[in-house]
Chain A
Amino acid sequence: GAVVSQHPSRVICKSGTSVKIECRSLDFQATTMFWYRQFPKQSLMLMATSNEGSKATYEQGVEKDKFLINHASLTLSTLTVTSAHPEDSSFYICSARAPSGTLGNQPQHFGDGTRLSIL
Protein backbone atom coordinates (compact mmCIF):
# COMPACT_ATOMS: atom_id res chain seq x y z
CA GLY A 1 0.00 0.00 0.00
CA ALA A 2 0.82 3.73 0.05
CA VAL A 3 2.09 4.02 -3.50
CA VAL A 4 2.81 7.43 -4.98
CA SER A 5 3.32 7.78 -8.71
CA GLN A 6 5.17 10.74 -10.19
CA HIS A 7 5.47 11.55 -13.88
CA PRO A 8 7.46 12.23 -15.89
CA SER A 9 10.65 10.80 -14.46
CA ARG A 10 12.87 12.91 -16.65
CA VAL A 11 12.40 16.04 -18.71
CA ILE A 12 14.87 17.78 -20.98
CA CYS A 13 13.62 20.93 -22.63
CA LYS A 14 14.61 24.33 -23.91
CA SER A 15 14.71 27.47 -21.83
CA GLY A 16 11.34 29.23 -21.71
CA THR A 17 9.30 26.03 -21.79
CA SER A 18 6.72 25.32 -19.10
CA VAL A 19 6.87 21.86 -17.59
CA LYS A 20 4.10 20.06 -15.72
CA ILE A 21 4.83 17.31 -13.22
CA GLU A 22 2.09 15.05 -11.87
CA CYS A 23 1.94 13.36 -8.50
CA ARG A 24 -0.70 10.73 -7.81
CA SER A 25 -1.51 8.69 -4.74
CA LEU A 26 -2.60 5.35 -6.18
CA ASP A 27 -4.14 3.48 -3.27
CA PHE A 28 -5.02 6.11 -0.70
CA GLN A 29 -6.53 9.55 -0.52
CA ALA A 30 -4.01 12.26 0.16
CA THR A 31 -5.42 15.45 1.59
CA THR A 32 -1.92 16.85 1.72
CA MET A 33 0.89 16.57 -0.78
CA PHE A 34 4.30 18.14 -0.58
CA TRP A 35 6.67 19.27 -3.29
CA TYR A 36 10.41 19.19 -2.70
CA ARG A 37 13.46 20.18 -4.61
CA GLN A 38 16.69 18.28 -4.09
CA PHE A 39 20.10 19.41 -5.23
CA PRO A 40 22.91 16.86 -5.68
CA LYS A 41 24.16 15.48 -2.37
CA GLN A 42 21.81 17.70 -0.42
CA SER A 43 18.69 17.30 1.62
CA LEU A 44 15.07 17.71 0.58
CA MET A 45 14.07 21.34 0.41
CA LEU A 46 10.35 21.84 0.92
CA MET A 47 8.94 24.11 -1.76
CA ALA A 48 5.24 24.05 -0.96
CA THR A 49 2.45 22.20 0.78
CA SER A 50 -0.47 21.33 -1.45
CA ASN A 51 -3.89 20.91 0.17
CA GLU A 52 -6.80 19.44 -1.75
CA GLY A 53 -9.33 22.09 -2.71
CA SER A 54 -7.37 25.06 -1.46
CA LYS A 55 -4.39 27.15 -2.41
CA ALA A 56 -0.92 25.79 -1.85
CA THR A 57 1.23 27.14 0.93
CA TYR A 58 4.65 28.15 -0.34
CA GLU A 59 7.85 28.23 1.66
CA GLN A 60 9.76 31.45 1.99
CA GLY A 61 11.77 32.24 -1.09
CA VAL A 62 9.74 30.05 -3.45
CA GLU A 63 8.02 32.02 -6.20
CA LYS A 64 4.39 30.92 -6.42
CA ASP A 65 4.01 32.41 -9.90
CA LYS A 66 7.01 30.40 -11.04
CA PHE A 67 5.99 27.12 -9.47
CA LEU A 68 2.25 26.68 -9.93
CA ILE A 69 0.63 23.99 -7.82
CA ASN A 70 -2.82 22.55 -8.32
CA HIS A 71 -4.39 19.93 -6.04
CA ALA A 72 -7.72 19.35 -7.71
CA SER A 73 -8.53 15.96 -6.23
CA LEU A 74 -7.62 13.76 -3.29
CA THR A 75 -5.28 11.73 -5.47
CA LEU A 76 -3.63 14.25 -7.80
CA SER A 77 -1.39 17.26 -7.38
CA THR A 78 0.50 18.96 -10.19
CA LEU A 79 3.53 21.23 -10.20
CA THR A 80 4.07 23.44 -13.23
CA VAL A 81 7.42 25.11 -13.64
CA THR A 82 6.57 28.11 -15.78
CA SER A 83 9.01 29.55 -18.29
CA ALA A 84 11.77 27.30 -17.01
CA HIS A 85 15.39 28.44 -17.13
CA PRO A 86 18.66 26.56 -16.60
CA GLU A 87 18.73 27.52 -12.92
CA ASP A 88 15.46 25.61 -12.46
CA SER A 89 17.24 22.39 -13.39
CA SER A 90 16.97 20.08 -10.42
CA PHE A 91 15.42 16.92 -9.00
CA TYR A 92 11.81 17.56 -8.02
CA ILE A 93 10.08 15.06 -5.80
CA CYS A 94 6.58 14.92 -4.44
CA SER A 95 5.17 13.14 -1.44
CA ALA A 96 1.69 12.35 -0.24
CA ARG A 97 0.34 11.81 3.21
CA ALA A 98 -2.89 10.20 4.32
CA PRO A 99 -5.03 12.26 6.70
CA SER A 100 -3.95 12.30 10.32
CA GLY A 101 -6.50 10.47 12.35
CA THR A 102 -6.79 8.38 15.44
CA LEU A 103 -3.40 6.89 14.67
CA GLY A 104 -1.85 10.32 14.83
CA ASN A 105 0.50 11.82 12.30
CA GLN A 106 1.03 9.74 9.19
CA PRO A 107 4.26 9.27 7.25
CA GLN A 108 4.93 10.79 3.88
CA HIS A 109 5.27 8.49 0.90
CA PHE A 110 7.45 9.73 -1.90
CA GLY A 111 7.17 9.58 -5.65
CA ASP A 112 10.16 8.56 -7.78
CA GLY A 113 11.04 12.14 -8.56
CA THR A 114 11.46 14.10 -11.77
CA ARG A 115 14.85 15.12 -13.03
CA LEU A 116 14.40 18.38 -14.87
CA SER A 117 17.11 19.63 -17.20
CA ILE A 118 16.68 22.98 -18.89
CA LEU A 119 19.03 23.65 -21.79
Chain B
Amino acid sequence: GENVEQHPSTLSVQEGDSAVIKCTYSDSASNYFPWYKQELGKRPQLIIDIRSNVGEKKDQRIAVTLNKTAKHFSLHITETQPEDSAVYFCAASNFNKFYFGSGTKLNVKP
Protein backbone atom coordinates (compact mmCIF):
# COMPACT_ATOMS: atom_id res chain seq x y z
CA GLY B 1 0.00 0.00 0.00
CA GLU B 2 0.84 3.67 -0.06
CA ASN B 3 3.23 5.17 2.49
CA VAL B 4 3.32 8.93 2.93
CA GLU B 5 6.09 10.55 4.92
CA GLN B 6 5.98 14.18 5.98
CA HIS B 7 8.70 16.47 7.26
CA PRO B 8 9.32 18.37 9.41
CA SER B 9 7.04 17.43 12.29
CA THR B 10 7.30 20.93 13.72
CA LEU B 11 8.26 24.17 12.03
CA SER B 12 8.67 27.55 13.62
CA VAL B 13 9.10 30.66 11.46
CA GLN B 14 9.03 34.39 11.95
CA GLU B 15 6.05 36.28 10.59
CA GLY B 16 6.73 37.25 6.99
CA ASP B 17 9.13 34.40 6.34
CA SER B 18 8.38 31.45 4.08
CA ALA B 19 7.52 27.95 5.26
CA VAL B 20 8.09 24.73 3.32
CA ILE B 21 6.67 21.33 4.19
CA LYS B 22 7.74 18.25 2.28
CA CYS B 23 6.09 14.90 1.67
CA THR B 24 7.14 11.74 -0.12
CA TYR B 25 4.96 8.90 -1.30
CA SER B 26 5.69 5.35 -2.38
CA ASP B 27 2.89 4.29 -4.77
CA SER B 28 3.43 5.50 -8.33
CA ALA B 29 -0.30 4.97 -8.96
CA SER B 30 -1.16 7.90 -6.67
CA ASN B 31 -2.43 10.73 -8.80
CA TYR B 32 -3.98 13.27 -6.47
CA PHE B 33 -2.27 15.18 -3.67
CA PRO B 34 -4.30 17.45 -1.38
CA TRP B 35 -3.06 19.52 1.54
CA TYR B 36 -5.18 20.12 4.62
CA LYS B 37 -4.90 22.65 7.43
CA GLN B 38 -6.23 21.68 10.84
CA GLU B 39 -6.59 24.14 13.66
CA LEU B 40 -6.81 22.84 17.20
CA GLY B 41 -10.08 21.00 17.80
CA LYS B 42 -11.40 21.72 14.33
CA ARG B 43 -11.90 19.84 11.11
CA PRO B 44 -9.13 19.54 8.51
CA GLN B 45 -9.77 21.99 5.70
CA LEU B 46 -8.56 21.63 2.15
CA ILE B 47 -6.21 24.49 1.30
CA ILE B 48 -4.76 23.40 -2.03
CA ASP B 49 -4.45 20.28 -4.14
CA ILE B 50 -2.53 19.12 -7.19
CA ARG B 51 -3.08 16.35 -9.70
CA SER B 52 -0.39 14.22 -11.24
CA ASN B 53 -0.61 15.89 -14.64
CA VAL B 54 0.56 19.20 -13.16
CA GLY B 55 3.94 20.11 -11.71
CA GLU B 56 3.02 23.24 -9.79
CA LYS B 57 -0.04 25.09 -8.60
CA LYS B 58 -0.34 28.41 -6.83
CA ASP B 59 -3.11 30.14 -4.94
CA GLN B 60 -2.12 33.52 -3.53
CA ARG B 61 0.44 32.87 -0.77
CA ILE B 62 0.21 29.08 -1.06
CA ALA B 63 1.86 26.92 -3.67
CA VAL B 64 2.36 23.22 -4.14
CA THR B 65 4.95 21.48 -6.29
CA LEU B 66 4.97 17.87 -7.44
CA ASN B 67 7.87 15.77 -8.69
CA LYS B 68 6.39 12.50 -9.95
CA THR B 69 9.74 11.00 -10.81
CA ALA B 70 11.08 11.47 -7.32
CA LYS B 71 7.65 10.89 -5.75
CA HIS B 72 7.66 13.96 -3.62
CA PHE B 73 5.52 17.04 -3.25
CA SER B 74 5.87 20.17 -1.20
CA LEU B 75 3.75 22.93 0.28
CA HIS B 76 5.12 26.46 0.18
CA ILE B 77 3.63 29.29 2.21
CA THR B 78 5.05 32.75 1.59
CA GLU B 79 4.71 35.86 3.73
CA THR B 80 3.51 33.79 6.66
CA GLN B 81 1.06 35.28 9.13
CA PRO B 82 0.18 34.25 12.71
CA GLU B 83 -3.15 32.89 11.46
CA ASP B 84 -1.23 30.37 9.35
CA SER B 85 -0.29 28.63 12.61
CA ALA B 86 -1.91 25.17 12.54
CA VAL B 87 -1.16 21.55 11.75
CA TYR B 88 -0.78 20.80 8.07
CA PHE B 89 -1.34 17.35 6.57
CA CYS B 90 -0.38 16.16 3.14
CA ALA B 91 -2.15 13.24 1.50
CA ALA B 92 -1.81 10.99 -1.52
CA SER B 93 -4.69 9.27 -3.29
CA ASN B 94 -5.18 6.92 -6.23
CA PHE B 95 -8.97 7.21 -6.80
CA ASN B 96 -9.56 5.03 -3.79
CA LYS B 97 -8.19 5.74 -0.36
CA PHE B 98 -6.42 8.78 0.94
CA TYR B 99 -3.19 8.26 2.81
CA PHE B 100 -2.18 11.04 5.15
CA GLY B 101 1.20 12.20 6.29
CA SER B 102 1.96 12.48 9.98
CA GLY B 103 1.40 16.24 10.05
CA THR B 104 3.50 19.35 10.53
CA LYS B 105 2.81 21.76 13.32
CA LEU B 106 3.54 25.23 11.97
CA ASN B 107 4.09 28.04 14.43
CA VAL B 108 4.33 31.55 13.02
CA LYS B 109 5.83 33.91 15.56
CA PRO B 110 4.64 37.53 15.41
Contact = CB atoms under 8 A, between A and B. Distances in A.
B97 A44 contact: no
B98 A108 contact: yes
Contacts of B103: 42-43
Given A42-B102, A110-B45, A105 B31 contact: yes
Interface residues of A, number: 19
Interface string B32-51: 10101000001111100101
A1 B34 CA distance: 17
Contacts of B36: 110
A105 B51 contact: yes
Interface string A15-55: 00000000000000000001000000111101001000000
Contacts, number: 50
A26 to B, nearest CB: 14
Contact of B89 (A43, A49, A100): A43
Contacts of B96: 49
A77 B83 CA distance: 33
Given A42-B103, A43-B100, A46-B97, 10 more contacts: A34-B98, A43-B89, A43-B101, A49-B96, A105-B32, A105-B93, A107-B32, A107-B46, A108-B34, A108-B46
Interface of B: 31-32, 34, 36, 42-46, 49, 51, 89, 93-103, 105
Interface of A: 34, 41-44, 46, 49, 93, 95, 100, 104-105, 107-113
